[in-house]
A and B are shown apart, each in its own frame.
Chain A
């Protein structure tokens, strides 16, 4: 059905940044939870998991019920426990922060409950009575998986089309390996698919192998969860040299196979978002001694999370702030990145040229948007490459729904999970005549 994850992978060098909790530590932490009324952590969770309730169930050793509470809201709760930026979501909203006390380790508690559920093989959900309706889902990432699982609970047949050999989307190919490795993501995919009735067709690119019109003919609804496209280019000389890679592509190569870093002494990462910080930490983790992040703004204005950059710093990262790359130079492969300082308005400052030595250059300045694939369909608005939808994921064109990075421009797994699930209910309302229907 889909390719197994190779056992020899560069990412295997990484261990978990946040350690799993043993039972006693989990129970003790769970007992610290205040069980807030109208809890802020729930409001901070895109999937609105009833966090105080699942934590209380850990405290009473009702782990089976705890995991169910999590999965009822978010079927991808196992991966989200590892990859969510909890510091800016649920944990960031914990009232203990206002007390200047350590907030509850919600992510680690969620991992505790969901890992046990996986290890014990507890199953909570089964497919609903068949409605005879069929839904196509484009892309096998978190948005489509969450949507498909919910659609199956509602009784609709699902077919997921994935152009790659591997499924799971960025959860499999992109998550920093000190948070979750690809084999764990693959385990989650199997777990989600085990509800049954979800056909996964890998190696099929919609628009190339199957026409959009055929999809519309063969399915009652289509959910687009294609994520983002290729790494963006800098547009500077030398970008084609050996040793220059898009960060997302390089991360995928590192996670799914092996990258040879044996001869790399210095790396440069261009960008200041979370992918840039991830790849900085990954390169450091693979043993490259010097890693320089080159970012056009200042630390306090970078889009990457402060807590992630702090972790990168403790791991030995360096940064050039207010700097943009102007050229990449080298004889046969990349050797250095020429840079210039910019002012607060990002204008180059004359005479401020400098160079950063690097034999590996990773570009983390964004990814292309894939909305253009739908641009020809009337009623669908594509805005700077992003597919526009209403709050339920409806595109405005009958049968067509979308969610995840291709609509939100690139957010978290938990956002994709929430959007996929919401779209599933909107689709259900439309095709099964339950609840509020679109067009």
Chain B
């Protein structure tokens, strides 16, 4: 394997960054001192926590979702935009820019009127902003005041405010999209019509993280009450990946994407890049573990790029987008069956329980051995056994040559192509 040094620099809508890892607009990007430490740790860029009319926050603000003992597998917050004065933030932006001129600072903004937008954009750019991110995504607190996701959910308002920002800005403008919509595509297209140079997504998902089952109050608890918060963290990644990919493959969109949503390590980042992101933004993992997580993100990404021969980030961007298609274009004649490696099997029989109770009843206990038997004539190739198997490589899904020509549902409906007999459909 060649030991070349991959070039991690990347460009999102005209915002250049030494690597694709940005702090998302959130508590880890709240102040100059924090962001300066983050840049020292290796973060490429930072989206400054949203500036606007300073607000007052509540106690408490965060909630964690524990999954099988993993704390913070999901996360939510009811914190609002910055609660610090505009002057302090602007002064620290300027100071940080002076200390770290090569690391882009993207200033997140959320105000109401056109005049307010014009004024805050000018001040941000004067302070040294390399780009702006319009916060059309916040799903709690701000939306009740007609901002945040209240903007992001209305394509016409999104387009109008984006157009104001682009008109008044001399630096690239990214629009941060909310996932609290039924289809992300019209909202991305609205940002594009407004003249945005790129989009960032996803913002947080409207959520109740948990309920205090002894006090009968949802969490996070503010005295005796709670409210809906924004869900994020590792658990939201699949939703974010889908929305990123939905825009990336949309003909007529074509804007750069800064991917956000549950990115916790280099592997997550690679997935977002392969589905069309040119940068990725991280918040929750930093909140849980600190800025130091970026070292492995960079190192892991470099090793991945070496393994695949990617010399630059643009070589990778969108590589998996063409393989993301509609269900009707999948080959119905493609067939796999589960194979259990009898030497590797430890006899836990999780696959037996999973197949019997959760799938198609084709894996059975066998006489005289703990290694189960797959009835391949009944196996539908669903993958469940492989997902529950605790032994890496023990269960593989083997392709079956069934002699049928590939045929999709669309080809079956429109061209009468022949489909293989169904399995497991008794």
Write the residues of chain A forming the contact surface with B, with a CB cutoff of 8 angstroms. Answer: 27-28, 30-31, 34-38, 40, 59, 95-96, 98-99
Q: Which residues of A contact B390 (CB under 8 A)?
A: 34, 95, 99
- Report Cα–Cα, A108/B332, bound state, in Å: 50
The reply to whether B352 and A38 form a contact with Cβ atoms under 8 Å apart is: yes
- A–B pairs, 16, beta carbons within 8 Å: A27-B69, A31-B70, A34-B390, A35-B350, A36-B347, A36-B350, A37-B348, A37-B349, A38-B349, A38-B352, A40-B370, A59-B68, A95-B346, A95-B347, A96-B346, A98-B346
- Report Cα–Cα, A99/B365, bound state, in Å: 20
- Report Cα–Cα, A99/B345, bound state, in Å: 9
Q: What is the interface residue range for chain B against chain A?
A: 10 to 19
CB distance from A408 to the nearest CB of B (A): 28
CB distance from A66 to the nearest CB of B (A): 15
B217 within 8 A of A: no
The reply to whether A99 and B346 form a contact with Cβ atoms under 8 Å apart is: yes
B391 within 8 A of A: yes
- Report Cα–Cα, A30/B370, bound state, in Å: 23
- Give the 9 A-B residue pairs with the shortest CB-CB distance, closest first: A37-B349, A31-B69, A98-B346, A37-B353, A95-B346, A36-B348, A95-B348, A31-B68, A37-B352
Which of A27, A59, A95 has the largest count of B CB atoms less than 10 A from its CB? Answer: A95
With CB as the reference atom, state the residue of chain A lying closest to B394. Answer: A99
The reply to whether A98 and B69 form a contact with Cβ atoms under 8 Å apart is: no
CB distance from B38 to the nearest CB of A (A): 29
The reply to whether A34 and B348 form a contact with Cβ atoms under 8 Å apart is: yes
- Report Cα–Cα, A99/B68, bound state, in Å: 21
- Report Cα–Cα, A96/B347, bound state, in Å: 10
- Report Cα–Cα, A98/B390, bound state, in Å: 11
Question: What are the interface flags for B94-126 relative to A under an 8 Å C-beta threshold, 1 for contact and 0 otherwise?
Answer: 000000000000000000000000000000000
- Report Cα–Cα, A36/B347, bound state, in Å: 8
- Report Cα–Cα, A34/B388, bound state, in Å: 9
Q: Which residue of the partner chain, among B70, B347, B365, contacts A98 with CB atoms under 8 Å?
A: B347
Q: Which residue of the partner chain, among A34, A40, A99, contacts B350 with CB atoms under 8 Å?
A: A34
The reply to whether A38 and B350 form a contact with Cβ atoms under 8 Å apart is: no
CB distance from A259 to the nearest CB of B (A): 44
Q: Which residues of A contact B346 (CB under 8 A)?
A: 95-96, 98-99
CB distance from A116 to the nearest CB of B (A): 17
Q: Which residues of B contact A95 (CB under 8 A)?
A: 346-348, 390
CB distance from A278 to the nearest CB of B (A): 33
The reply to whether A38 and B365 form a contact with Cβ atoms under 8 Å apart is: yes
- Report Cα–Cα, A130/B370, bound state, in Å: 45
With CB as the reference atom, state the residue of chain B lying closest to A99. Answer: B346
CB distance from A98 to the nearest CB of B (A): 4
- Report Cα–Cα, A274/B349, bound state, in Å: 34
Once A34-B350, A36-B350, A37-B353 are accepted as A-B contacts, the answer to whether A59 and B391 lie under 8 Å apart by CB is: no
The reply to whether A40 and B69 form a contact with Cβ atoms under 8 Å apart is: no
User: Number of A-B pairs whose CB atoms are under 8 Å?
Assistant: 37
B interface secondary structure, majority = loop
- Report Cα–Cα, A174/B225, bound state, in Å: 56
- Report Cα–Cα, A36/B391, bound state, in Å: 13
Q: Which residues of B contact A28 (CB under 8 A)?
A: 69
18 additional contacts (CB under 8 A) given A27-B69, A40-B347: A31-B69, A31-B70, A34-B350, A34-B390, A35-B350, A35-B353, A36-B347, A36-B350, A37-B348, A37-B353, A38-B349, A38-B352, A40-B370, A59-B68, A59-B69, A95-B348, A99-B346, A99-B391
CB distance from A100 to the nearest CB of B (A): 10
Q: Which residues of A contact B391 (CB under 8 A)?
A: 99
- Report Cα–Cα, A27/B69, bound state, in Å: 6
- Report Cα–Cα, A27/B347, bound state, in Å: 24
- Report Cα–Cα, A98/B68, bound state, in Å: 23
- Report Cα–Cα, A40/B348, bound state, in Å: 8
Q: Which residue of the partner chain, among B68, B70, B349, contacts A36 with CB atoms under 8 Å?
A: B349
- Report Cα–Cα, A36/B352, bound state, in Å: 9
Q: Which residues of B contact A38 (CB under 8 A)?
A: 349, 352, 365
With CB as the reference atom, state the residue of chain A lying closest to B365. Answer: A38
Within 8 A of A (CB), among B333-380: 346-350, 352-353, 365, 370
Q: Which residues of B contact A37 (CB under 8 A)?
A: 348-350, 352-353
- Report Cα–Cα, A27/B71, bound state, in Å: 11
CB distance from B390 to the nearest CB of A (A): 5
- Report Cα–Cα, A425/B28, bound state, in Å: 64
Q: Which residues of A contact B68 (CB under 8 A)?
A: 31, 59
- Report Cα–Cα, A99/B70, bound state, in Å: 23
CB distance from B56 to the nearest CB of A (A): 35
- Report Cα–Cα, A235/B281, bound state, in Å: 81
The reply to whether A30 and B69 form a contact with Cβ atoms under 8 Å apart is: yes
Q: Which residues of A contact B353 (CB under 8 A)?
A: 35, 37
CB distance from A292 to the nearest CB of B (A): 41
- Report Cα–Cα, A37/B388, bound state, in Å: 12
CB distance from A391 to the nearest CB of B (A): 24
- Report Cα–Cα, A207/B350, bound state, in Å: 54
Question: What are the interface flags for B129-148 relative to A under an 8 Å C-beta threshold, 1 for contact and 0 otherwise?
Answer: 00000000000000000000
- Report Cα–Cα, A28/B348, bound state, in Å: 19
With CB as the reference atom, state the residue of chain B lying closest to A93. Answer: B347
CB distance from B202 to the nearest CB of A (A): 28
CB distance from B190 to the nearest CB of A (A): 44
With CB as the reference atom, state the residue of chain A lying closest to B392. Answer: A99
Q: Which residues of B contact A30 (CB under 8 A)?
A: 69
CB distance from A187 to the nearest CB of B (A): 29
- Report Cα–Cα, A37/B358, bound state, in Å: 13
Q: Which residues of B contact A35 (CB under 8 A)?
A: 350, 353
CB distance from A298 to the nearest CB of B (A): 32
Q: Which residues of A contact B370 (CB under 8 A)?
A: 40
- Report Cα–Cα, A99/B390, bound state, in Å: 9
- Report Cα–Cα, A28/B390, bound state, in Å: 16
- Report Cα–Cα, A99/B346, bound state, in Å: 6
Question: What are the interface flags for B239-259 relative to A under an 8 Å C-beta threshold, 1 for contact and 0 otherwise?
Answer: 000000000000000000000
- Report Cα–Cα, A31/B390, bound state, in Å: 13
Q: Which residues of A contact B352 (CB under 8 A)?
A: 37-38
- Report Cα–Cα, A36/B350, bound state, in Å: 6
- Report Cα–Cα, A36/B349, bound state, in Å: 6
Within 8 A of A (CB), among B19-69: 68-69
Which of B70, B346, B349 has the largest count of A CB atoms less than 10 A from its CB? Answer: B346
CB distance from B49 to the nearest CB of A (A): 32
With CB as the reference atom, state the residue of chain B lying closest to A38. Answer: B349
Within 8 A of A (CB), among B297-347: 346-347
Q: Which residues of A contact B365 (CB under 8 A)?
A: 38
Question: What are the interface flags for B55-93 relative to A under an 8 Å C-beta threshold, 1 for contact and 0 otherwise?
Answer: 000000000000011100000000000000000000000
- Report Cα–Cα, A250/B63, bound state, in Å: 57
CB distance from A112 to the nearest CB of B (A): 14
